[in-house]
Amino acid sequence: MKSNLHNLVRKLTYLLGVIFILSCGSTAPILSTPIENIDVVPLKAVELTDDEKKEWSHLDLKTDTVPGISLHRAYKELVRPKSKTVIVAVIDSGIDIGHEDLKDNIWVNSDEVPSNGKDDDNNGYVDDVNGWNFLGESNDEQLEYVRLLASGDTTNPRFAEAEALLAKERESTMRSKTQYESILDQLNTSDAAIADYLKNQNYTKEDVEGISTTDKTLSRHLNIIKQSYGFGFESIAAMKKELNQGLKSLNKRLDCNLNVAFDGRSVVGDNPNDLSDRDYGNWDVLPKNGRTHGTHVSGIIAAMRNNGIGMNGVANNVKIMAIRNTPNGDEYDKDVALAVYYAVDNGAKVINMSFGKKFSPHSDWVRDAIAYAAQKDVLIVAGSGNDGKNTDHENYFPNDQIGSGDEVADNFLKVGASEPRYGSTLVAGFSNYGENTVDVFAPGSDIYSTYPKNKYEFASGTSMASPVVAGVAALIFSQHPSLSAEQVKQILMSSGIEIDKKVSLENGSIVHFSQLSKSGKIVNAYNALLMASKLSK
C-alpha cells in the first residue's frame, strides 16, 4: 500500500504551517476486553519505551496495556516445539532475499537448477529458484485510472470519474510539491543564516539553543531552526534529506503515476490485457530502484526469531516465497492473478497481498484466482487500503466480492490497521474500513521491520497490518496443519479481541469499533492458537 508518501505529505504540510506562522487446547480463558473507560483514560498512561516501540504489535493488552496480538504470551504458553514448515507467498515489490534476518527463511524451489536457463520443474517459469518477477526490469507505472484515460475508452462507465480524479490528484500533488519547495527554500535560507552567524556549517542543536539575539531577522531564522529540531530530526541536514525525498516522490508521481503519456509496461513486453500471454518476467525477485516495501512486509512475517539481531517475525517455522508484481504505481490485474496461481501451484499455504487500488478493469481475473486458491485450500490475506475510506461505499481492489455483496470464496481476509494506544484513537487514521468489506483489524502503525541491505525501519499502513495476520495464520497452520484455510480464516476473525468502544476516524466522525469490520475485532495470536487447538481436535 502506498501510505508513506501520504503520511509524509500530511506531516510536512503541518510543518509548513509552522514555518509560515514564524516567518507531517488449553483450558485458559479467551482474553476479554478490559472494562476501563478507554475513551477517557487510555490504559497506557506513559509513552512506549524504545524497545516497546519496536515490538508493540507483539505485546499483550492485559499484561502490557498495549493492544498488540499477544504474541509473546502465545509463544510462552501455547507454541509447541514440534511444527510444520509453512510457505508464505509475499506478492509485493520484490524482497531482499539476502537480508541477514530473512535469508534463512526464504523459500527455495528444490526442483529448479539455478541459472541454467531451463524450466527444470516444468512449471512454466525458468530458473524460479526463490519465486518469480512478473515485472521484469520495469519499476515505474501509472495508476490504474490513468491507464483508463490513456486507453481513450470513453465508453467505459468510469471514464468521466477517472478524468475528474486525475484533475483532482494532479492539482493536489502540485500543491504539495509547491509546499515542499517552499519549506526547503525557507529552511535553506534559515540554515545558511544560522551557519553564517555561528561560523560553523555543522552546528548542533545545543549551538542553536545558545544563541541570544535581538536582531529581528536572525530571530526569525532562529525560530524556524528551533521548530525544525522540534519535529524530532537529529539535524537540519536530516530534515532536508526527508524533504528532498518527499519532493522526489512527488515529482515521480507527476511524471509517472499521474502521467497519461507514460508507458511503463513497454519494458515488460507482454499484453497486460491478455491473460493467456504468460511468457514474460524473470527469476530476479530482488527489489528495484531502492524499493523497500516487500522486504519490510516479509520481515513482519518471517524475520528470524531470537537470533540476536534485528527483530522477530510473527511465525517461527516459515519460508517466504518471493513474487514481484507491485511497481511504483498500480499493479496490473493480470500480474495479481498470475501471481496467485503461481503461489498456489508452487506450494504456498498463505498468500500476503499488501497492495491495492480503486480501479480494476480485470477484477474478475483476480476473483477467479482467489476462488482457485480456495479450491486448493490456500489462505489469502490483504490490506484494506490507506485512504481512510469506507470500502462498503467505495470499491478497493483486490477483493473477493462484487461491490460489497457475497464473497466468491471463503479463504480471503481483508485487514484494517490499528494503533498502539488502546483508546478512542485505536484505529489508524489512514486505514480503510467497512462492515461488509473488511474482515478484521491488526497492528499497522509504526511497525518496525526489515529494510534492504540489512537495515531496519518503521513503516505504517494496512500493508503492515496484513502481514501481521498472515504471520499469525502461518503460525496456526504450522502448529495445527490439519486445519483448512476456511477454518483458519474463521479462527482469526472469531478469536480476536472485541472492542466495545467508540473510536474516532480521520474524517472526524465517531463510530463504534464493531461498525468498521465484519468481526469487530483485533486479531489475537494467543486466542487464535487456543481456538485452533480445540478445533483441530
Residues belonging to the active site: 255, 293, 463
The answer to whether 397 and 357 have CB atoms below 8 angstroms apart is yes
Task: Name the 3-class secondary structure at 350.
Answer: strand
Residues 6+ apart with CB under 8 A from 360: 144, 333, 366, 395, 397, 398
Backbone CA torsion sign across 217, 218, 221, 222: negative
Going from the C-alpha of 463 to that of each of 147, 160, 445, 448, the distances in angstroms are: 24, 30, 10, 13
Which among 537, 533, 532 is positioned nearest to 491, based on CA atoms? 532
Residues 6+ apart with CB under 8 A from 357: 143, 144, 330, 331, 396, 397
Residues 6+ apart with CB under 8 A from 234: none
Give the span between the Cα atoms of 89 and 324, in whole angstroms.
10
Q: Which helix (H) or strand (E) is 293 found in, with range? A: helix 293-302
The answer to whether 481 and 84 have CB atoms below 8 angstroms apart is yes
Instruction: State the cell numbers at 213.
Output: 539575539
Amino acid identity of residue 317, one-letter, is: N
Instruction: State the cell numbers at 81.
Output: 516445539
Q: Which helix (H) or strand (E) is 379 found in, with range? A: strand 379-383
The answer to whether 413 and 379 have CB atoms below 8 angstroms apart is yes
Residue 246 CB neighbours (<10 A)? 23
Residue 471 CB neighbours (<10 A)? 30
- β-strand partners of 319: 87
Going from the C-alpha of 69 to that of each of 3, 64, 314, 480, the distances in angstroms are: 22, 11, 10, 19
3-state SS of 131-176 is EEECCCCCCECCCHHHHHHHHCCCCCCCHHHHHHHHHHHHHHHHHH
**Residue with cell string 515488460:** 268
CA–chain centroid gap for 456, Å, is 15
Going from the C-alpha of 386 to that of each of 210, 215, 219, 501, the distances in angstroms are: 43, 46, 40, 22
